[in-house]
Amino acid sequence: MKLEIDQQRLLSELETLATFSDAEPPAVTRIVFTPTDLKARAWLIARCEEAGLAVRQDAIGNIFARWSGADKAAPAVGTGSHIDAIPNAGKYDGVVGVLGGLEAIRALRRSGFRPKNSIELLVFATEEPTRFSIGCLGSRLLSGTDRDGESVDEVRRKAGLNGNLQDVKLAKGYYKAFLELHIEQGPLLERAQISLGIVTSIAAPASLHISIEGAGGHAGGVLMPDRRDALCAAAELILAIENAARSSAAADTVATVGECDVFPGAVNSIPSRVRMTLDIRDTDQARRDGVMKAIERTSQRISSKRKVSIQWELVNADAPADCAAEVRAALADSCRADGFPFLEMVSRAYHDSLFISRIAPMGMLFIPCRSGYSHRPDEYAAPEDIARGALVLAESLAKLSA
Ligand code: GLV
Ligand code: MN
Ligand code: MN
């Protein structure tokens, strides 16, 4: 079997998909189910159909594009990622795994390979937490993991998705294996000058909404000892969060306050209310939870010292996921057969594969991204790395579906 990745077409599709954006290039903003995202999804569905794949969507908007195998009743081998993008993002996060997956399937078809198991491209709906506060909503529902989806009901119906959310869950054994190709979103591959990473596990993510209520007032009239400034309390808490993550027993603990809304937001008004988010992750779930507890204790001290109320709402606190030995072996064998060195590594970003691991043996393949940059407009992956990733993906799909 001679597999050839059409690098030129893959890159030109990547550029085209980046034009479906609500930001000025090179930034990409593609929030799920916005008119722009719906156009991107329609474009992608057309590309899948053009490739001869049978396309269906479920009630939350996960897109399945299937190449039927000789044994139609056997579980499929899946691959895929997401195309939604956070505000002011780049063009590679998720997209490399979707278009790389599509090109891998096309390359297999061109080669004359006939799979025994069906091969399916899965485009996960709403991987990014921008719109619905929680990440990986599509894969959470596929794997039957929490969340009733009520808050998304109206939005997805407006996007033309009217099925029953209860039906999104995949039957056990639906996938024989699932592989996701993705940019690393960190600098380790580039530093090691190695072009491929085989993921061993995905770190445990958690996120919270924090709401601080103090007292507003006139910026000139209220003297400093009388103040209950919600933003000053937030500032102290943000630094305490940074300190808690920095002083954790391992460098694997990371914490980020990425959103901070100040009310009423006027130059001459004392902030009475702040709403902010906390994203905290670790490869070790117990250590992450310990750091979260320590932050909560500090927040209680700040609350009583500054006489403000601080409320926490846990959005998600997920367990880490291990990649399956057989999927890692298929990826490693493909790399070895091609003479491509690879690094075994942890994924510090989360991915839909975290949830898919609950219903199927899962593996992930990383390619480098320049300086480790991701979730920013200058995110970049080299064409030859993208093509190499798609090739190893295609070879591994072939091994797992033969
Ligand atoms: C996914 O985008 C993440 O935040 O890890
Ligand atoms: Mn992302
Ligand atoms: Mn991603």
Tell how far the Cα of 245 is from the centroid of ligand 1, in angstroms: 18
User: Mean pLDDT for the chain?
Assistant: 97
How far the first Cα of the chain sits from its last, in Å, is 12
Question: Cα separations (Å) of 65 from 31, 327, 360?
Answer: 22, 21, 18
Write out pLDDT tens, residues 346-395: 999 999 999 999 999 999 999 999 999 999 999 999 999 999 999 999 99
Give the closest ligand to the alpha carbon of residue 254: 1
pLDDT band at 2 (very low <50, low <70, confident <90, very high): confident
How many Å apart are CA 76 and CA 73, to the nearest integer? Answer: 9
Query: Which atom of ligand 1 is nearest to 350's Cα?
Result: 5
Write out pLDDT tens, residues 203-229: 999 999 999 999 999 999 999 999 999
Q: Return the minimum-mean-pLDDT range out of 26-30, 33-37, 84-88, 249-253.
A: 249-253
Structure tokens at 283: 């490869």
Write out pLDDT tens, residues 261-295: 999 999 999 999 999 999 999 999 999 999 999 99
Residue 1 pLDDT exceeds 90: no
Residue 148 pLDDT exceeds 80: no
**Pocket (CB within 6 angstroms of ligand 1):** 128, 135, 349-350
Tell how far the Cα of 93 is from the centroid of ligand 3, in angstroms: 5
Res 151: pLDDT: 76
Would you say 61 and 123 are in contact if contact means Cβ atoms under 8 Å apart? no
User: Hey, whose CA ends up nearest to atom 5 of ligand 1?
Assistant: 349
- Percent of the chain exceeding pLDDT 90 equals 96
Would you say 287 and 249 are in contact if contact means Cβ atoms under 8 Å apart? yes
Note residues around ion ligand 3 (Cβ under 5 angstroms).
93-94
Query: Which atom of ligand 1 is nearest to 351's Cα?
Result: 1
Give the closest ligand to the alpha carbon of residue 83: 3
281 three-class SS: strand
- Percent of the chain exceeding pLDDT 70 equals 99
Tell how far the Cα of 164 is from the centroid of ligand 3, in angstroms: 26
Tell how far the Cα of 228 is from the centroid of ligand 1, in angstroms: 35
DSSP string of 194-256? -S-EEEEEE-EEEEEEEEEE-B-EETTTS-GGG-B-HHHHHHHHHHHHHHHHHTSSSTT-EEE
Instruction: Count the residues in the chain.
Output: 402
Structure tokens at 267: 């130059």
User: Hey, whose CA ends up nearest to atom 2 of ligand 1?
Assistant: 128
pTM, entire model: 0.95
* Of 134, 351, 379, best ligand 1 pocket probe by most atoms within 8 Å of the beta carbon: 351
